[in-house]
Structure 1
């Protein structure tokens, strides 16, 4: 297998055509971790490739990524994945998620022969990426995963959280693990984040990124780092975790875990104030960090 142009980060996951409903008013929007994460990374100057599946009719949706300088590798699917996210504006922290469509599982041969410094596996729901793909990527370089794409499952049209039956073997292949507070409790039974992170680190991940409404917590090589989200509004709440993890990894290419944690919290703070991906500049982030 010949390696093509190297990139900093290769992202693997479904591009989504989501429906966002706030107080009964709904509209369609692009979504998925590969969408929110890749745009934010490009704005920080990180080179990115996205590997995804979607219906051929929706290929034009990927032009937005290409215009940002993202390399896109696409496989046609029977449908484009999509989730309906239902919010009440009085509490944008809580949402009901319903699956509308699913683009099907990735096959090993759909992953391009591209070398990356980090392979970020960011599925929307369980069933997109299997253990064989994780094993293959782990042989190529450090793997990062968002555990949501392994524990969020389809059940009667709704999305529910279930245990990851292959977690022990799966996490042994992972260097960077991202999850939220609820997922940490689901997988470990621990309500204390530090205890949960220690338990998860025993399976193999060296760095664990946990998001919650108040901010991000990073456990790296036994050390703990925390940084707040100080958003003035939550109009852009969807894509919070995707943005935070991708920018953390992007900064880890050049800085320490603590500095990457601070930086990711600042990007995420600004992202939450506007719907869609974060499209700011590094200068915007420096201004926010200086003001803290």
Structure 2
């Protein structure tokens, strides 16, 4: 019998190189899957995480030690790696450079478990595709942090945000959509966050959360 969870958090870990505005550098294994995995498990949910990486780069079991989440992973040719150069103390302004991109995730790679929610916590465009969300929606509810559908690795390894071309096709597969104010504007063309949420809902997303440094 398959093990049952409340949440399965899916996404690549990242070898982060974070440089603050004073030039201090910190290297750590991070990524949305780490933050979301710890948060979900520590909130009392039965949580599993599924990630991909080159095992030569990091010890994924060690990174999630103490999280309370069960860890599943598969090897990737490369591990996601991002260099973040921050220009202000509040970290609102930064330049991001890709130093490695994880192999895309496929539904048939996911652990054979039952889960109420598939939470897709990706980092760059290409981690997931709409077909993955559509398949997951047949098995449980789907939660997506939209960053991974908008943030593209350019030819020169810089990172830039572009609209999600397939949004109207696949938003109806998404039960919980999380964006920040800037991402919501890219998706909708609207700076009014309440109106942006209404438009995303009208396109099929069932619950929409838009964050800003002044409000949610």
Tell me if TM exceeds 0.5: yes
The equivalent of 1:38 in structure 2 is 37
Q: Distance in 1 between matches of 2:59 and 2:201?
A: 40
Contact 1:66 1:72 in 2 (8 A): no
Evaluate the alpha carbon distance shift between residue 112 and residue 83 of structure 1 in structure 2; reply closer, same or farther with a 3 A threshold: same
Contact 1:10 1:50 in 2 (8 A): yes
The equivalent of 1:198 in structure 2 is 198
Instruction: Report the TM-score when normalising by structure 1.
Output: 0.70
The equivalent of 2:104 in structure 1 is 105
Unaligned stretches of 5+ residues in structure 1 = 217-292
SS at match of 1:184: helix
1:66 CA displacement? 3.9
Q: Distance in 1 between matches of 2:192 and 2:66?
A: 42
- CA deviation map 1:233-264 (0-9, x unaligned): xxxxxxxxxxxxxxxxxxxxxxxxxxxxxxxx
Contact 1:93 1:213 in 2 (8 A): no
Q: Distance in 2 between matches of 1:54 and 1:36?
A: 16
- CA deviation map 1:35-66 (0-9, x unaligned): 01111222222221111110011341432314
- Over the aligned positions, Cα root-mean-square deviation in angstroms equals 1.4
Tell me which protein shows more helix as a share of its residues. 1
The equivalent of 2:188 in structure 1 is 188
Q: Distance in 2 between matches of 1:66 and 1:10?
A: 17
1:161 aligns with 2:158: no
Q: How many residues align?
A: 214
1:18 to 16, 19, 32: 16
Contact 1:99 1:157 in 2 (8 A): yes
SS at match of 1:177: strand
The equivalent of 2:136 in structure 1 is 137
1:17 CA displacement? 1.1
1:215 CA displacement? 2.9
